[in-house]
Amino acid sequence: MNRRGQGEKKSTLKDVAQKVGMSVATVSMALNQSAGYERISAETRKMILAAAEELNYQPHYMAQALKKRNTKLVALAVPNIYHPFTPQLIGGVQDALRENGYHLLLLDLTNSPDTESVRTVLQLESGGIDGLIVHSMSGELGPVAEGKLPIVYLDEKSVSPAVWFDADGATRTLTRHFLEQGIRRIGYVGSTMTPETYTQRERGYRSALEEAGAPVDESLICHVSPQLKGGGQAFAWFQNLKDKPEALVVFTDNVAHSMMLQLIRSGVRIPEDLALASVDDVELSALMNPPLTCAWVPAYEMGKRAAYMMMDQLAGKDLSGVVETLPVALHIRASSIRPHG
């Protein structure tokens, strides 16, 4: 036996090819069972396998996986890893991938310009991820990836396949909650960014008022950054209002928490002076003082459903036009209940 010691140079395809007197291409085809290997006779394949075993040839399994695009690796692109919504989303994707023997590659695009995002996906596409799950606020990453590898969109419904929560229904429900208490001057804090999930949230607020015959007062609507600093921007806007709203619907907890703390410090009583409600319902919302009323977004389930969709695509299913909408739930807490009298 001519087996090589642990410290010796590893055998290569070229070594096996020289041993059997054949081309590297033929040996590779036989060992990897790649396209056309059926044309190699059973006797020749047997001889090549025997030579590979004798030389203790070890194939580079990762390289094989990259060539076959079967790395068992799925990338998830998130626009802001610091948002309290993100860990639940990641957890859902990761758990579903693990169930199916896949691993997660996390792409944190926080503060990444679109050009960098595009460069990232092009490198990944050539480097061998099996698929990409991309959040709607991840810039040009999704459009660039389309046609290059399987893709699932999160928090978007105008493209497919996608998993989406009822963003319109979330703010519609919160606004109706205030209307049912007899509150008519209801303001809205929205985002300066305009991904579909944010535009739909503002649409839900406006629709609820219109359906109730209540006026949509544009002076009671402001748009701020979705980052934490958006809370300070919303607070400054509120302070400068002459005719203040009785209630506010805020597009995301991230902003609502920051704004709420600043309002309370300034002497605004919640809910006596201003009733407040938000979208997301991350864990901190229930711990605020007073606890914050929220439309609960099923982030973990969204992540799981997106990963299952990816598994279906990788199994060969055509999911063109498939958009799964998950419902939200209203969690009423003290911040939104105006005292009677």
Please write the tens of the pLDDT for every residue from 271-296. Answer: 999 999 999 999 999 999 999 999 99
pLDDT band at 158 (very low <50, low <70, confident <90, very high): confident
Q: Angle at Cα 156 formed by Cα 101 and Cα 276, nearest 5°?
A: 110
Alpha-carbon dihedral sign for residues 137, 139, 145, 147: positive
Domains, the chain, ranges and CATH?
13-59 (1.10.260), 69-165+300-326 (3.40.50.2300), 167-298+329-336 (3.40.50.2300)
Shortest CA distance to 103 belongs to which of 323, 310, 332?
310
Quick one: which H or E segment has residue 326? Answer: strand 323-326
Please write the tens of the pLDDT for every residue from 115-150. Answer: 555 555 556 555 578 888 988 766 556 665 666 788
Euclidean distance between the first and final Cα of the chain, in Å? 95
Long-range CB pairs of 110-119, under 8 A, 24+ apart, other chains included: 110/79, 110/80, 110/81, 110/82, 112/139, 113/139, 114/139, 114/140, 114/141, 117/77, 117/141, 117/144, 118/144
Say what the pTM is: 0.76
Residues 6+ apart with CB under 8 A from 54: 1, 2, 3, 19
The DSSP bridge partners found for residue 295 are 279, 330
Please write the tens of the pLDDT for every residue from 207-237. Answer: 999 999 998 999 999 999 988 899 999 999 9
Reported in sequence order, the residue ranges of 192-243 that DSSP labels E, i.e. its strands, are 221-224
Average pLDDT value for residue range 246-254: 96
Q: What is the pLDDT of residue 323?
A: 95
Residues 6+ apart with CB under 8 A from 177: 277, 293, 330, 332, 336
- Of 97-111, 123-137, 154-168, the poorest mean pLDDT is in 123-137
Burial class (CB in 10 A: 0-12, 13-18, 19+), 74: buried
Q: Are 155 and 297 in contact (CB under 8 A)?
A: no
Most confident residue range from 20-24, 139-143, 169-173: 169-173
Average pLDDT value for residue range 70-89: 86
Q: What is the pLDDT of residue 48?
A: 86
Kindly list the strands in the beta sheet with 103-108, ordered across the sheet, starting from the edge strand earlier in the chain.
103-108, 73-78, 131-135, 151-154, 162-165, 323-326
Quick one: which H or E segment has residue 328? Answer: none
Residues 6+ apart with CB under 8 A from 256: 189, 231, 250, 276, 277, 278, 285, 292
d(CA 49, CA 210): 74
Q: What is the pLDDT of residue 126?
A: 53
Q: What is the pLDDT of residue 29?
A: 76
